[in-house]
Amino acid sequence: MTDQNYSADNIQVLEGLEAVRKRPGMYIGSTDERGLHHLLWEIVDNSIDEAMAGYCDKIRITFLADGGISVLDNGRGIPVDKHSKTGKSALETVLTVLHAGGKFGGGGYKVSGGLHGVGSSVVNALSTKLKAKVFRDNKVWEQSYTIGKPDGEIQETGTCKKTGTEITYYPDDTIFETLEYNLETVYTRIRQQAYLTKGIELSIVDERQNHEKSKYRFYFEGGVAAYVRHINEPKNAIAEIVSTETVEDDVSVEVALQYTDSYTDTILTFTNNIHTSEGGTHLAGFRTALTKTINAYAREHSILKDKEENLTADDVKEGMTAIVSVKVPEPQFEGQTKSKLGNSEVRGIVNRAFSKEFSKYLEENPKDAKLIIGKCLLAARARLAARAARDTVIRKGALEGLTLPGKLADCSSKDPSKSEIYIVEGDSAGGSAKQGRDRDTQAILPLKGKILNTEQARLDKILANKEVRSLIVALGVGIGEQFDIEKLRYHKIVVMTDADVDGLHIRTLIMTLFYRYFKPIIEGGFLYIANPPLFKLTKGKQAQYAYSDEEKDEIILSWGGSLENNIDEITDKPEEIAKKVNIGVQRYKGLGEMNPEQLWETTMDPEKRTMFHVTIKDAEAADAIFNTLMGPEVPPRRKFIQAHAKDAETIDV
Ligand code: 0RA
């Protein structure tokens, strides 16, 4: 080594550190809570790499009382002897040179690309202080750093029997917006890592001040199968967990899968323990294998008849939970967030490995096979029925021939910006609304209250419903490919339903319908919810409407208060006051109880009314509620309605 080399090396290091501190986001994504956690993942990932290479089975993360975070493993210990060329130890190189991590991987699996694997040097650069301790060759070695620069040479500080590495760092508060680690976030990530690396024990110790002291240990003998069991805990499994573990051409493949009676699927894919949220070749290989194997089995056992179509990839994944975890020596990450695996050889490897194991499983477990395929067939039938239903509505021109529905009481204005349509629940409320409205600008379309009663109705069926088709025709925008927001006939679409469970039902249905098929209408701000009163209060000739329980009580108190002298006893209970001073309290159970004038005055008069503007977020929430309402099990649905009926009256405003 020459001096020249050494100083050139050092200059590089200093420039590297500076670059990281200047643009931390480039290296760790952000400097908020996420970025702060990223530091920990960087350090822990190195220990996990050591575990994946087979040299380490325990990792402990400690949140120290003094604000530091320490990560200790029982691996081989990062080498501390000086490299002949650079004059630096592997330890110092790993901690000071950008992207140095992989070079010392010594085989093993090392991750590259994306934000992962940028290396411990980035953590060092973004920490006010970092201390490394290495247990190796019966000796303890220590070196400390300040803002990424070594405080001095590495020191031998004692003897020991164990091997391992301990990194303790103190995130820089001038870089990070917060220094508070979120234990839940840490648990989730660490639990996942424990599932993905069989036999590894990860523990998390919290010694922080102002925190409850805690220690958690994560260890899962079962690997990815245990992960599937964990995810399926709240669900109803219909078959056993299938799992495979193979190695081909240095690519290791672990797959675990289990079917449940749910309609949604959860497929998580990992490459070298990193969640590949955009999927990639491992996912493609898995899905091909799954579809092919199930179809082959179903044909062979005549469950699928000759003339029947093959099950699609979507049919076979309904209700499935699967983990696909591959370890690839040189992963290529692609995609927008670099979380899509690109290695093409992995597709075939996963496909072969899983096909073989899965067909063996089906042959050996005919009962499970029957249940699984039965479930897939059901999904296929629903898909075909949905397509047929959708075709009847969406088919080109299907709506064109239709004239405006007879039930629609249209407004005389043809200017959409001045026109409103009230979608009203039930014919009787529709009648009041028709009489009470401003005919120039307000159209009324009554919808039958019971359109949503079909058990397990899919939205496609609802689309084929006559009532709903009337609505679509009335709006004028078409649907599917023909949708054209420019043709919208009303710039205010107001959903006016009763304040009860049925009303909530219809409102949820309409919001979901718009969310899924007419999103631009919501985005354009054209969808509203009417706000009818809940009470009418009368006292002599005075009358006032209340739109909430609180408002009703306020009115009673104010009226009662002004007549205080007439009350013998002092009370602040609104019901008692109402009785004592002869206030009439009429609760409106439905819109139908209001006469046309009342409906106009309280709910429809643009000068006086209040309405809730529906945002995409509201509609998204409605969509989620819709899924629960339309779910297969009746009891949870009922429970949900009971639990939320009251909230829903107020939250989605
Ligand atoms: C390269 C070589 C060797 C160990 C490690 C890396 C290593 C790195 C980290 C990072 C955190 N914990 C770690 N443990 C080990 C040792 C090579 C040998 O002993 O032959």
Structure-token pair, residue 144: 């400390």
Distances in whole angstroms, Cα of residue 83 to Cα of each of 1, 9, 80, 88, 89 = 9, 13, 9, 5, 6
CATH topology for 224-391 is Ribosomal Protein S5; domain 2 (3.30.230)
Q: Is residue 527 scored above 90 in pLDDT?
A: yes
Q: Is residue 637 scored above 90 in pLDDT?
A: no
Distances in whole angstroms, Cα of residue 347 to Cα of each of 29, 223, 316 = 29, 22, 19
> In this predicted model, what pLDDT tens digit does every residue of 528-537 receive, in sequence order?
999 999 999 9
Tally: H helices and E strands in the chain: 21, 24
Q: Is 620 helix (H, G, I), strand (E, B) or coil?
A: helix
Residue 500 designated active-site = yes
Which residues, 6 or more positions from 647, have their beta carbon under 8 angstroms from its beta carbon?
none
Residue 73 designated active-site = no
Q: Which of 52, 72, 76 to mutate to test the pocket of ligand 1 (most atoms within 8 A of CB)?
A: 76
Our answer on whether the CB atom of 76 is closer than 6 Å to any ligand 1 atom is yes
Our answer on whether the CB atom of 78 is closer than 6 Å to any ligand 1 atom is yes
Our answer on whether the CB atom of 106 is closer than 6 Å to any ligand 1 atom is yes
Distances in whole angstroms, Cα of residue 71 to Cα of each of 357, 398, 419 = 38, 65, 65
The predicted pLDDT at position 8 comes to 74
Backbone φ and ψ of 610, nearest 5°: -120, 145
Structure-token pair, residue 333: 């990450």
What is the maximal distance between C-alpha atoms in the chain? 104
What is the residue with the minimal CA distance to atom 5 of ligand 1? 78
Closest ligand 1 atom to residue 165 Cα is 12
CB of 433 closer than 8 Å to CB of 422:
yes
Measure the N-to-C terminal CA separation of the chain; round to a whole number of Å: 72
Confidence of residue 649 (pLDDT cuts 50, 70, 90): very low
Element (H or E) spanning 346, and its range?
helix 345-364
Q: Is residue 488 scored above 60 in pLDDT?
A: yes
Measured CA to CA, the distance from residue 402 to residue 474 in angstroms comes to 10
The active-site residue out of 502, 605, 623, 649 is 502
Q: Is residue 144 scored above 90 in pLDDT?
A: yes
Our answer on whether the CB atom of 50 is closer than 6 Å to any ligand 1 atom is yes
The predicted pLDDT at position 460 comes to 60
Closest ligand 1 atom to residue 105 Cα is 1
Reduce the secondary structure of 557-593 to three states and give it as a string: HHHHHHCHHHCCCCCCCHHHHHHHCCCEEEECCCHHH
Q: Is residue 159 scored above 60 in pLDDT?
A: yes
Q: Is residue 381 scored above 50 in pLDDT?
A: yes
Q: What is the mean pLDDT of residues 452-460?
A: 50
How do 527-530 and 492-496 pair as beta strands? Answer: parallel
- Residue 330's CB is within 10 A of a number of other CB atoms, namely 11
How do 201-206 and 58-63 pair as beta strands? Answer: parallel
What is the residue with the minimal CA distance to atom 19 of ligand 1? 76
Q: Tell how far the Cα of 49 is from the centroid of ligand 1, in angstroms.
A: 9
Q: What is the mean pLDDT of residues 484-498?
A: 94
Our answer on whether the CB atom of 120 is closer than 6 Å to any ligand 1 atom is no
Our answer on whether the CB atom of 45 is closer than 6 Å to any ligand 1 atom is no
Closest ligand 1 atom to residue 164 Cα is 14
> In this predicted model, what pLDDT tens digit does every residue of 471-487 receive, in sequence order?
888 999 887 767 889 99
Q: Is residue 77 scored above 90 in pLDDT?
A: yes
The predicted pLDDT at position 471 comes to 87
Q: Is residue 356 scored above 80 in pLDDT?
A: yes
Q: Tell how far the Cα of 341 is from the centroid of ligand 1, in angstroms.
A: 26
Q: Is residue 401 scored above 80 in pLDDT?
A: no
Residue 498 designated active-site = yes
Q: Is residue 388 scored above 80 in pLDDT?
A: no
Identify which of 534, 519, 548, 532 has the alpha carbon closest to the alpha carbon of residue 614.
Answer: 519
Amino acid present at 5: N
Q: Is residue 447 scored above 90 in pLDDT?
A: no
Q: What is the mean pLDDT of residues 138-160?
A: 97
Q: Is residue 652 scored above 50 in pLDDT?
A: no
Measured CA to CA, the distance from residue 279 to residue 368 in angstroms comes to 27
CA dihedral 472, 475, 481, 486 (to 10 degrees): 180
Task: Output the average pLDDT for the chain.
Answer: 85
Q: Is residue 115 scored above 50 in pLDDT?
A: no
CB of 70 closer than 8 Å to CB of 77:
no
Q: Is 131 helix (H, G, I), strand (E, B) or coil?
A: strand
Backbone φ and ψ of 327, nearest 5°: -120, 120
Our answer on whether the CB atom of 165 is closer than 6 Å to any ligand 1 atom is yes
- Please report, rounded to a whole number, the percentage of residues in the chain having pLDDT higher than 70: 85
Q: Where are the alpha helices (DSSP H) in 137-213?
A: 183-196
> In this predicted model, what pLDDT tens digit does every residue of 587-606 receive, in sequence order?
888 888 889 999 999 999 99
What is the residue with the minimal CA distance to atom 8 of ligand 1? 78
Q: Tell how far the Cα of 77 is from the centroid of ligand 1, in angstroms.
A: 5
Residue 502 designated active-site = yes
Backbone φ and ψ of 542, nearest 5°: -75, 145
Distances in whole angstroms, Cα of residue 126 to Cα of each of 25, 49, 189, 418 = 11, 22, 22, 58
- Please report, rounded to a whole number, the percentage of residues in the chain having pLDDT higher than 90: 59
The predicted pLDDT at position 405 comes to 78
Report whether CATH 3.40.50.670 matches the domain 416-532: yes
The predicted pLDDT at position 95 comes to 94
Confidence of residue 461 (pLDDT cuts 50, 70, 90): low
Q: Tell how far the Cα of 248 is from the centroid of ligand 1, in angstroms.
A: 25
Q: Tell how far the Cα of 50 is from the centroid of ligand 1, in angstroms.
A: 6
Confidence of residue 198 (pLDDT cuts 50, 70, 90): confident
Q: Which of 40, 42, 45, 46 to mutate to test the pocket of ligand 1 (most atoms within 8 A of CB)?
A: 46
What is the residue with the minimal CA distance to atom 7 of ligand 1? 78
Confidence of residue 166 (pLDDT cuts 50, 70, 90): very high
Distances in whole angstroms, Cα of residue 203 to Cα of each of 116, 199, 221 = 22, 13, 15
Q: Is residue 641 scored above 50 in pLDDT?
A: no
Q: Tell how far the Cα of 224 is from the centroid of ligand 1, in angstroms.
A: 26
Measured CA to CA, the distance from residue 317 to residue 376 in angstroms comes to 8
Q: Tell how far the Cα of 163 is from the centroid of ligand 1, in angstroms.
A: 10
How do 139-146 and 127-136 pair as beta strands? Answer: antiparallel
* Sequence ranges of the domains in the chain: 8-218, 224-391, 416-532, 535-587
Our answer on whether the CB atom of 47 is closer than 6 Å to any ligand 1 atom is yes
Interaxial angle between packed helices 224-232 and 183-196, expressed in degrees from 0 to 180 and rounded to the nearest 10: 130
The active-site residue out of 498, 553, 601, 652 is 498
In this prediction the pTM is: 0.61
Which residues, 6 or more positions from 456, have their beta carbon under 8 angstroms from its beta carbon?
630, 631, 632
Residue 418 is classified by DSSP as: G
Q: Which of 60, 165, 168, 200 to mutate to test the pocket of ligand 1 (most atoms within 8 A of CB)?
A: 165
What is the residue with the minimal CA distance to atom 10 of ligand 1? 46
Measured CA to CA, the distance from residue 282 to residue 270 in angstroms comes to 9
Measured CA to CA, the distance from residue 118 to residue 475 in angstroms comes to 54
**Same CATH fold assignment for domains 8-218 and 224-391:** no
Closest ligand 1 atom to residue 104 Cα is 1
Structure-token pair, residue 528: 């509203």
The predicted pLDDT at position 510 comes to 87
Measured CA to CA, the distance from residue 202 to residue 48 in angstroms comes to 10
Measured CA to CA, the distance from residue 172 to residue 577 in angstroms comes to 62
Q: Tell how far the Cα of 60 is from the centroid of ligand 1, in angstroms.
A: 16
What is the residue with the minimal CA distance to atom 12 of ligand 1? 47
Identify which of 322, 473, 315, 461 has the alpha carbon closest to the alpha carbon of residue 407.
Answer: 473
Q: Is residue 70 scored above 80 in pLDDT?
A: yes
Amino acid present at 481: E
CA dihedral 283, 289, 295, 301 (to 10 degrees): -140
The predicted pLDDT at position 572 comes to 66
**Highest mean pLDDT range out of 607-616, 617-626, 638-647?**
607-616
Distances in whole angstroms, Cα of residue 123 to Cα of each of 42, 132, 252, 366, 604 = 7, 12, 30, 53, 61
> In this predicted model, what pLDDT tens digit does every residue of 254-297 receive, in sequence order?
999 999 998 889 999 999 988 999 999 999 999 999 999 999 99
Our answer on whether the CB atom of 73 is closer than 6 Å to any ligand 1 atom is yes
Structure-token pair, residue 342: 């690109």
The predicted pLDDT at position 4 comes to 58
The active-site residue out of 500, 575, 597, 647 is 500
CA 62 to chain centroid, in Å, comes to 29
Which residues, 6 or more positions from 12, have their beta carbon under 8 angstroms from its beta carbon?
97
The CATH number that domain 8-218 falls under is 3.30.565.10
Which range among 336-340, 422-426, 607-611 shows the weakest confidence by mean pLDDT? 336-340
Confidence of residue 323 (pLDDT cuts 50, 70, 90): very high
